[in-house]
Structure 1
Amino acid sequence: MVYSTDDIVVATSLQSFKYIFASTATFWTYDYACSLHEEWTFLLRSHWSKMKGLYIVTRYLPFIFLATNLYMSVTPNENPAKCRVLANIESGLGIALVILSECFFILRTYVLWNKNRILLAAILCTLFIFVIVSFSVTFDTTVPAAYTTSAIPGITGCHRSSTSHRLFIPFLLFSVFELGLMILTLIRAIQSSRTNPSHLYAVLLNHNISYYACSLLFSVTTVFILLLLQHTYQTILDSFQFTILATLATRMHLHLWQVNRHPHGSTSALVHIPMSDISFANPME
């Protein structure tokens, strides 16, 4: 049987997405297995608080998110309506993961700035505006989108026949938001280095600037992919980025909890800014 060029493009993109989803699930599972001991130590020994609840939701929501992705890619979906429902669920879970992950970075910034409530209010208002715009753009694009399946036997999964370039807007907004948090963190790191004998590099490490930088890098990369690649591959890294953001945020929180349990350990040379009580009554537990 002779297949058209469009059929081959759809089949190739579906296979590429399947590989990306499988790789992302493998990466997340490997990361979870590597940190299993620290994970359960934290879950069993830390006190219950809002931050711990936020950690658990952010850490384990990728299970559902990745399961949805894999289901979309490996299950034959001849029903376009079913594909649309699954795509909307995936989009909602992805945005939820981004918001939950950003909450960790926001609270970290809040603590670094000596719990400045004016700064916190400004950050939260900015995040609220960005989230509303992102929801509007995302669902305005995905809900009316047409979905098809591959005409080639053995190729499963849902394929969006067209993708709007407006999808770059949510990622651009979050790139700007993450850049703002990173700049605020850099300012505090530089101020700390001036009043403390520690090297600036050590201060930057203690302020977890690497987590902010990785988060920003993935957002910027996704923006360029959405703008430069053809629509078939525009959303190829979305799932990977959402999972990475959740991993970075929970890793940062777990590291800070460990540092606060052993404040005189290997990190004693760093400028220690506690984040073990990040709730508003008790700064972070």
Structure 2
Amino acid sequence: MEYSAGDIAAAWSLKTYTYIYTSAATFWTYDYACSLHQELTFLIQSRWTKVKGLYILTRYMPFLLFVGHLYLNFIPDDNPDKCQMINNICSCFSLISVICSECFFIIRTYALWNNNKFVLAAMLTAFLAVVVASVGVLFTATANAPFETSTISGITGCYQSAGSDELFVPFILLFALELGLISLTLVRAIQSWRTARYPLYDVLLKHNIFYYACGLFFSMVNVLTSLLLQYAYNGMLQDFQLIILAILATRMHLHLWHVDRQIHGSDALMHIPLTDVSSIGHTG
């Protein structure tokens, strides 16, 4: 049986999409195994706080995302409506994951600014606007672009062949949000570079800048792939970005917690109330 060039291109895009998700799942599992000892120490010895709950949600939401997408990619299914339903569920997991990851660094930026209420209000307003706009665009674009399955036997998974160009909008909004947050971090670093000599303060600055730099890079990559590529290629790195951000957020929180333990010794509070970190690195 002969297939059109479009059918072959769609099949290759689905295979590439599946390879990327499998690689991402492997990477997440490897990262989890490498940090298991540190994570168990944190979960057992730290006190239960809202930040700890946020950590758990951020850490394990990608697991649900992987289960949904790997099922979608590997289980043979010729029902596009079912594909759309599962994809919508995975989109919810993606949104929760990125919201949790960004919340970590909004709290950290708030701490760097010595709990400045004006800065917090500005960040939360921008963050809520990005979330609401992204939800609207994401589900509208999905509804307007039905899913298709490959006509080639043995190729599993679903893709949106057209009409999903709007999916670049959430990443533009995320790019703008993180550009604003990294600007706040850099302004704070410039203001206090001579006076701040606290280990936790330095850790916060380095973590924030690295996290936002990664977010900006992946957001721009996803904007380009959404606009320039077709079939499953245009969404192949979207969830990969969210998974990387979740890993960075949780890894950095573990590191910050262990640094705090080393500074304060065995009599430390055994948890990091991030909104109080500014009291450690207060610059006056």
Amino acid at match of 1:15: K
Give the direction of change, closer, same or farther, for the CA distance of 1:129–1:196 in structure 2 (3 Å limit): closer
Structure 1 residue 229 displacement after superposition: 2.2
Equivalence map 1:56-67=2 (5 Å): 56-67=56-67
Match of 2:268 in 1: none
Matches within 5 A, 1:16-35: 16-35=16-35
Matched, 1:118 2:114: no
Alignment of 1:1-285 (within 5 A): 1-196=1-196, 203=202, 206-208=205-207, 209-263=209-263, 276-278=272-274
User: What does the per-residue CA deviation read over 1:27-58, in whole Å, with 9 as the maximum and x for residues that have no partner?
Assistant: 10111111111111100010000000000011
Distance 2:216 2:144 in 1: 30
Between 1:107-116 and 1:255-264, the stretch displaced more is 255-264
Which has more helix, going by share of residues?
2
CA deviation digits over 1:182-235, x for unaligned, max 9?
11111122222122479xxx9477541212211221112211222222354111
1 CA distance for matches of 2:11 and 2:124?
Answer: 42
CA contact (8 A) 2:59 2:246 kept: yes
1 CA distance for matches of 2:197 and 2:252?
24
Are the aligned partners of 1:11 and 1:155 in contact in 2 as well (CA < 8 Å)? yes
The residue type equivalent to 2:210 in the other structure is S
Q: Secondary structure at the match of 1:66?
A: helix
Secondary structure of the residue aligned to 2:263 is coil
TM-score computed with the length of structure 1 as normaliser: 0.89
TM-score (norm 2): 0.89
% of aligned pairs identical? 52
Structure 1 pair 233/163, CA: closer, same or farther in 2 (3 Å)?
A: farther
Measured at CA, do residues 216 and 171 of structure 1 come closer, stay the same or move farther in structure 2, by a change above 3 Å? Answer: same
Structure 2 unaligned blocks of 5 or more: 266-270
Q: 2:108, 2:204 within 8 Å by CA — same for their partners in 1?
A: no
Number of equivalent positions: 272
Query: What amino acid does structure 2 have at the position aligned with 1:164?
Result: S
Gaps of 5+ in 1: 266-274
Distance 2:44 2:65 in 1: 25
What is the RMSD of the two structures over their aligned residues, measured on CA atoms? 2.3
Aligned-partner Cα distance in 1 for 2:192–2:231: 46
Provide the C-alpha distance between the structure 1 equivalents of 2:34 and 2:105, rounded to a whole number of angstroms: 23
Q: What is the distance in 2 between the residues matched to 1:257 and 1:203?
A: 14
Whole-angstrom distance in 1 between the partners of 2:195 and 2:148:
60
The equivalent of 1:270 in structure 2 is: none
| Contact 2:130–2:174 (Cα < 8 Å) also in 1 | yes
What one-letter code is carried by the residue in structure 2 that aligns with 1:116? Answer: N
Separation (CA, whole Å) in 1 of partners of 2:55 and 2:203? 23
Counterparts of 1:196 and 1:171, CA distance in 2: 34
Is the contact between residue 211 and residue 248 of structure 1 (CA under 8 Å) also seen in structure 2?
A: yes
The separation in 1 between residues aligned to 2:53 and 2:248, in whole angstroms, is 17
